[in-house]
Amino acid sequence: MTTTIRSPLHHGSDFLPRRAVIGGLFGAAGLALVGGRAAAGPLDPPAGPIAPTSKPLADLEPRTAVSASTTPGDAFTLYIISQPGSYYLTGNIAVPANKTAIRIAAPDVTLDLRGFTVSGNNAANTYGIQDNSGDAVHATIRNGIIEKMAYSAVYMFGDKLRFTDLTLRNNGGFGIITGASCRLERVIAVANATTTTTNPGGILAGPDSSFFDCLAESNKGYGIYAGSGALLVNCHASQNTGNGITVGPTSSVIDSSATNNGGVGISMQHSGLADSCTANTNTGTGIAGSFASLVRHCIAFSNSGGGVDVWEGALIARCSAGSNTGFGFRVATGCSITDSVATFNTGSGIDASVGTGSTIARCVTRSNTVHGINAQARCYIRENHCQSNSSAGTGAAGIIVTGTSGRIESNHCVGNNGYGIHVNANRNMITRNSCAENVVNWNFFSNCAYGPVINCTTIAVSGMSGNGTVASTIGSADPFANISV
Amino acid sequence: MNALITSIPAAEPVDSPREIAGPTRADAELNRRLVTGIAGAAGIALLASRAFAGPLDPPPGPITASTKPLSEIEPRTAINAANTPGDATAVFVISQPGSYYLTANLTVPAGKAGIRVAASDVRVDLNGFVLSGNAAAGTSGITDSGVALTDISVHDGVIRAMSGIGVNLGATRRSLIDELRVHDNAGTGVLTGHAARITGVRADVNAATQGAGAAGIRSGDASQILRCTAKGNTGVGIVVGTDALVESCIASQNTGNGIEGFSYGKVLRCIAYDNGGHGIVSASVVGSCNSSDNTLRGIYVSSASVEGCAARSNGAHGISAGASTVTECTSALSISAGNSAHGYDLGASSNLTDSTAYNNAGHGISASQSSRIEGCTSRRNAILGIAVAGSCSVVENNCSDNITGIQVAGASNRIEGNLCGGGTNFGIQVVAAYNLIVRNTCSSNVINWSIYFNCPYGPVVDRTNPAVSGMSGNGTVASTMASTDFHANFSL
């Protein structure tokens, strides 16, 4: 019986027969030689009945090994797990053509791959792990590699699944596709779907799923795709042919990055939240948010479809967008963009040309090819710094306003290769701004209300130093004065 | 050497240690002895010629094992009838500190707990197995039986279908719960006491019959709930005591509130979605959270800080905060049949800055007393852009395409530097005395201004049709403001 393993040093263990063999041999051939070793200890067993002093094998590894005897398969599957419980692999698995490696056909299963590799070796019609139409609810799969399947590595539609410490690579279909409310942690999907004509992607999960520390790289299609209510923390998507990260409504993407993807870096539907993310060198927009999205502390650089693009009622705060092809930031109606920086974009730094009723405040735009800020009607544009924009000499402006009823206040525009502030619609108010070294500092449409423009460009006054009372050199005491410096 | 060993199979027990370890120093010792014995009988000189293979004399001292003892391969204690015998209340009872593990699924019979922990400093590894109550009466998963213990850890498994609580360590301090799936229990999914740390736990469809106080996950003061999910529970999804932290969690489709904290607690980077009550309630710090489609309010706090949060399509106010700071948030599409759902509902002494309110069924921003609203954008809300009662500061906001941009209903407010346009009624409407209205701009409202008597306000300068030409250049140009009054309000 092999269910009991005993320590070699325990009395009553299997070590005693071995010593008996030795003793017999020595007794026949030369006991005196061995007699010198008699100090090995007493040979008499302790009093009392013989009893095991160590664990049965079943206690050493109580989980069920995945094998032909314990989890027999069928014509389509190597192994089928049909009961709840805890299972583990005992070695690598090579999946033959036309088979799935493991099918989980019960709820509450824990499957530990134990670091082994399940490989389809590119054989035809192979899957890694599947379920039966979602019956593997609450399953956990962890710790291994699934590779080279003709189709997907993990193809499960059950809800509430958990996947941790998996590497899914070089599969013909999805790296992983799952149902709703799943949790993926430290899942790596690399180079999946590269040989297919479709674009399945690396990691896909249904609504209410959470992703922690996941990586999707070089997949054909999406890097990471999640349904509504998804939470992504510390995830990375790069070099995928589609969008890097795509999430449904009410999802949050935090501390994550999307780099060098073939589509949008991070794409969010309405009420998406991106916080402390980076999106660089993507073919599409860096970060795109739909209605009422919120983008904070994010960086978007060198994207081919603009930096950050949000829809109605959205908010951008404390972000930076640079060297993007097209706009740095683009907002639609009723948005707010504050405390952000847009530099060296080939379009406008901040494009609110469809952003009626938006607020743009305390931002810096510099060296963008077109305008620094381009705003529509009813925008409140205040306390921004716009410098060296319209660098291609397009005659653009530090700030341009093309709609009515806006308020342009306390901005500073410097060295733009066109206008400093250009208001191209009536009924706007322009007060307390300053312009310096623009080709043309000011250009206001008719029927606008603006404070006096005070030209201090040729001012000839002495400097001053001290604590005493000194007269103004501005040349105006008008509280609404706009000043050329 | 190996040939010698395999040549004596009768001496090799079936359950040899070699089954779990390769040839070892003990095997080498045995082989040396075999060689020595054979040499003594058959001719030592022949073998002596191969003495270069190593010394024939065994090392000095008594025989010792050179392999790991089994107790080192799995030093923990298996949970079974022999090691952890149960009693009338539990299938297994752990009565000594130490590290324990489950060796099989466990079906808990009626009237019992699966595992009762009766000592502090215990770690229970469910080893991926399932504790199931099969809904039998009086079952619970793991319990401390109300005894005040400390430092209990429960790890990696499933606890389901208990008629009571899934994990009940409510009397234990500093419990550590991780990687559990707790579902379909009739009581609360996971219940812990003071200073617990709960990570990677999902609690689904629990607490269907527990009634008041039911929750997916309920933890005591100073606890940490990290990377957990609570879905479809009766009652609250996740509820914690004071000074607790809830981070990177999702609470959805619970019948009560999604995430509920108490004083001095933090809720960070969480999602509360489609819950039957409020989304996030009662925390002191709420950061980078997303709260949508809840039946009541999206975020509901007092004396709190709310930063970088999004609220959408909630049945009541999007963000409701009293005596709180709210900054860089979005609130949109709050819905209610009575048009009473505001984007932001601010109680007394609140500070709302740099936020957006869009397309809500009530006001974009509603503030009662003594609050400050600055730098916000409020657009296309069904009633007012900003509504304030008394003693508020409303500064540099942008209100467009609401019925009325800003409405002031009480006294002692300061309304300064705002831009209000496109109102279908008023731009700025002040319906109480003793308010200061300066430096505002209104444009394209049906009526730009309506200001109550006994209010100090800057001159209202009508520039809706100033009939001035445009300008272009760098030189000095005269003002078209028609006023140099610093306090002037302008119509465009």
Q: Which pLDDT belongs to residue A422? A: 96
* Average pLDDT for A305-312: 97
Tokens of A310: 């949000």
Measured CA angle at A189 (ends A184, A192), to 5 deg: 135
Residue of A nearest to B253 (CA): A208
Q: Which pLDDT belongs to residue A20? A: 39
Beta-carbon separation of B41 and A29 below 8 A: yes
Which of B141, B150, B146, B215 shows the shortest CA–CA distance to B176? Answer: B150
* DSSP codes of every residue in A124-179: TT-EEEEESTT--TT-EEEEEEEE--SS-SEE---SS-EEEEEEEES-SS-SEE--
Mutation choice for A interface testing from B18, B270, B398, B471 by most A CBs within 10 A: B398
Looking at per-residue confidence, does A388 or B17 come out higher? A388
Q: List the single residue in A250, A315, A359 with the smallest CB-CB distance to B328.
A: A315
**pLDDT category, B465, cuts 50, 70, 90?**
confident
pLDDT at A38 over 70: no
- Torsions phi, psi of A32, nearest 5? -60, -35
Which of B273, B207, B264, B261 shows the shortest CA–CA distance to B234? Answer: B207
Q: How far apart are CA A329 and CA A91, in angstroms?
A: 52
On chain A, the residues whose CB falls within 8 A of the CB of B67 are: 8
Beta-carbon separation of B463 and A33 below 8 A: no
Beta-carbon separation of B103 and A357 below 8 A: no
- What average pLDDT does the structure give for chain B? 88
* Average pLDDT for B260-269: 92
**Within a 13 Å sphere around the CA of A371, how many CA atoms are in the beta-carbon half?**
21
Q: How far apart are CA B121 and CA B98, in angstroms?
A: 6
Residue of A nearest to B312 (CA): A271
Residue B148 Cα, gap to closest chain A Cα (Å): 30
Residue A51 Cα, gap to closest chain B Cα (Å): 13
b/e code A414-434 from CB counts within 10 Å (16+ = b): bbbbbbbbbbbbbbbbbbbbb
Residue B215 Cα, gap to closest chain A Cα (Å): 18
On chain B, the residues whose CB falls within 8 A of the CB of A86 are: 105, 127-129, 157
Total CB pairs under 8 A between chain A and B = 416
pLDDT at B91 over 70: yes
Q: Could you tell me which residues are beta bridge partners of residue B299? A: B280, B319
Name the packing angle between helices B25-42 and A15-29 (round to 10°): 20
Residue A459 Cα, gap to closest chain B Cα (Å): 12
Q: How far apart are CA B399 and CA B387, in angstroms?
A: 11
Give A250-294 pLDDT, tens digit per residue.
999 999 999 999 999 999 999 999 999 999 999 999 999 999 999
Give A16-28 pLDDT, tens digit per residue.
334 433 343 334 4
Q: Could you tell me which residues are beta bridge partners of residue A373? A: A350, A399
Beta-carbon separation of B400 and A54 below 8 A: no
- A420 contact partners, CB below 8 Å, separation of at least 6: A386, A397, A398, A399, A413, A414, A435, A436, A438, A440, A441, A442
**pLDDT category, B154, cuts 50, 70, 90?**
very high
**pLDDT category, A460, cuts 50, 70, 90?**
confident
Least confident range of A97-111, B38-52, B241-255, B330-344: B38-52
Tokens of B482: 């028609």
pLDDT at B262 over 90: no
On chain B, the residues whose CB falls within 8 A of the CB of A228 are: 273
On chain B, the residues whose CB falls within 8 A of the CB of A7 are: 17, 65, 69-71
Q: Which pLDDT belongs to residue A256? A: 98
Kindly report the number of other CB atoms within 10 A of residue A92's CB atom. 13
Does the structure's ipTM exceed the value 0.90? Answer: no
**3-class SS at B235?**
coil
Strands A154-155, A176-177: pairing kind: parallel
* Average pLDDT for B306-324: 95
B416, B406 Cβ separation under 8 angstroms: no
Mutation choice for B interface testing from A14, A253, A254, A407 by most B CBs within 10 A: A407
Element (H, E) at A245: strand A245-247
Q: Which pLDDT belongs to residue B431? A: 96
CA-based radius of gyration for chain A: 35
On chain B, the residues whose CB falls within 8 A of the CB of A312 are: 358-359
Q: Which residue has the tokens 């003061």?
A: B221
Element (H, E) at A57: helix A57-60
Q: Which residue has the tokens 């002037």?
A: B488
**pLDDT category, B10, cuts 50, 70, 90?**
very low
What whole-number percentage of chain A has pLDDT above 70? Answer: 89
- What average pLDDT does the structure give for chain A? 90
Residue of B nearest to A19 (CA): B30
- Enter the pTM of the model: 0.88
On chain B, the residues whose CB falls within 8 A of the CB of A181 are: 202, 204, 229, 231, 250, 252
Burial-class residue B369 by CB neighbours within 10 Å (0-12, 13-18, 19+): middle
* Average pLDDT for B201-210: 90
A312, A332 Cβ separation under 8 angstroms: yes
Question: In Å, what is the CA distance from A33 to each residue of A30, A44, B34, B256?
Answer: 6, 22, 12, 82
Q: Which pLDDT belongs to residue B441? A: 97
Beta-carbon separation of B11 and A210 below 8 A: no
Greatest distance between any 2 Cα atoms in chain B: 128
On chain B, the residues whose CB falls within 8 A of the CB of A30 are: 37, 40-41
Beta-carbon separation of B329 and A315 below 8 A: yes
Burial-class residue B368 by CB neighbours within 10 Å (0-12, 13-18, 19+): buried
Beta-carbon separation of B130 and A84 below 8 A: yes
b/e code A444-471 from CB counts within 10 Å (16+ = b): bbebbbbbbbbbbeeeeeeeeeeeeeee
- A464 contact partners, CB below 8 Å, separation of at least 6: A470
Tokens of A369: 């090819």
**pLDDT category, B283, cuts 50, 70, 90?**
confident
**pLDDT category, A5, cuts 50, 70, 90?**
very low
Q: Which pLDDT belongs to residue A2? A: 36
Across A311-388, where does the E strand assignment appear?
A: 315-317, 320-322, 329-331, 336-338, 341-343, 350-352, 359-361, 364-366, 373-375, 380-382, 385-387
Tokens of B470: 């445009």
Kindly report the number of other CB atoms within 10 A of residue B473's CB atom. 13
B277, B256 Cβ separation under 8 angstroms: yes
Give B15-71 pLDDT, tens digit per residue.
333 333 334 444 444 344 434 444 444 444 444 444 466 677 777 787 777 777 777
Q: Which pLDDT belongs to residue B339? A: 55
Least confident range of A102-111, A303-312, A388-397: A388-397
Q: Which residue has the tokens 């105006």?
A: A476
Tokens of B188: 């609360």
Residue of A nearest to B184 (CA): A138
Residue A275 Cα, gap to closest chain B Cα (Å): 7
Q: Could you tell me which residues are beta bridge partners of residue A102? A: A79, A129
B437, B412 Cβ separation under 8 angstroms: no
Least confident range of B9-18, B436-445, B476-485: B9-18
Q: How far apart are CA A167 and CA A110, in angstroms?
A: 17
Q: Which pLDDT belongs to residue B72? A: 80
Q: How far apart are CA A230 and CA A294, in angstroms?
A: 15
Beta-carbon separation of A296 and B288 below 8 A: yes
A223, A261 Cβ separation under 8 angstroms: yes
